[in-house]
Amino acid sequence: MNETVKDEASINKKEVPKRSPKYPIISLSTAIERVKQIYQKEQFGYVNITVLPARWGQRFNSYTTQQVAALKSFKLVDIEGSMNERNLRVSEWAYKIITNSSDKEAIIKQIALAPPIFKEFWEFCNKAGFPSDDTLKLELARGKNFPYQFTRKGIELFLKNFRETIEFAKLKSNDIIEKHSEQENIASDMTTINKEQKIAEITQARTSYSNIKGSHIPSVSTDVATFSIPIGTDVATISIPRNISKKSFDAIRKVLDAIEDIVISPISNNTVSDSDSE
């Protein structure tokens, strides 16, 4: 009896696990599509987990929560709360991917291995010289050299999602995925804090404007001041009714300040050249 037959025989004798270890139920490419659908409707706002199936054309069930877990493992969403009270929003990394930031490819490579089990399996495959699917299936069934044992169904889905994620991220055997330093993590935390403050400012500005508008509904004014502002190759146009109150103008100023992060491109940061400022 050769070695392969012995291994297969030992698997049959060994108790098959009732469930596989935790792993992303969807691949990274699918996860990014899911988070794009959230961003299209919610931007940076929080959305309850029970609302997500409508965004994805699905029904709310256990598969919904499994997909949310995958989004979280890939660092694509920020989550607060628990169970059906969980609320989530797109993460800073997801935003950079969605808006085609200059470091999009590097981010995708990094979050592809963010799920711990994907990172461990990637390291295992590197060390083993990237064996064939048949060999990998045997390893996952045995739970010996790779320290996790999967069900037969789990093996198929895990390998499918893992391979699709690696191919999507264009990872190669010699790729070294560098971790963020502590300083970079601090900077990321500060970015999140600033984003939260900006969201609060937008909400406050909207409320302020609504209160002003609700207290007095003016007739449509024909006396409007229009300002055309050159910005590189584009032009920003602002039209404001004349003779508005200082309170109304302050409300407009708050809205403009609050939407800064929404209108500024993360790629160019809307940098104004010397020629633009002259």
Q: Buried b vs exposed e over 221-260: b needs ≥16 C-beta within 10 Å?
A: eeeeeeeeeeeeeeeeeeeeeeeeeeebeebbebbeebee
49 and 161 belong to one structural domain: yes
28 and 105 belong to one structural domain: yes
Could you say which DSSP state residue 191 is in? H
d(CA 189, CA 136): 38
d(CA 263, CA 234): 13
174 and 91 belong to one structural domain: yes
158 and 210 belong to one structural domain: no
- Among the candidates 156, 178, 200, a domain finishes at 178
Lowest mean pLDDT among 21-30, 41-50, 205-214: 205-214
126 and 233 belong to one structural domain: no
77 and 189 belong to one structural domain: no
5 and 137 belong to one structural domain: yes
Amino acid 97: pLDDT: 96
193 and 267 belong to one structural domain: yes
Range of the domain at 114: 1-178
Task: Give 277: exposed, middle or buried? Use CB within 10 Å, 0-12, 13-18, 19+.
Answer: exposed
86 and 213 belong to one structural domain: no
Amino acid 242: pLDDT: 73
Summarize pLDDT for 151-161 with one digit per residue, the tens.
999 999 999 99
d(CA 240, CA 146): 66
Summarize pLDDT for 96-143 with one digit per residue, the tens.
999 999 999 999 999 999 999 999 999 999 988 888 999 999 999 988
- Among the candidates 131, 158, 178, a domain finishes at 178
The number of distinct structural domains making up the chain is 2
Amino acid 187: pLDDT: 41
Average of per-residue pLDDT across 40-65: 90
112 and 235 belong to one structural domain: no
7 and 123 belong to one structural domain: yes
Using 50, 70 and 90 to split pLDDT, how confident is the model at 189? very low
- Among the candidates 123, 151, 178, a domain finishes at 178
pTM for the model: 0.59
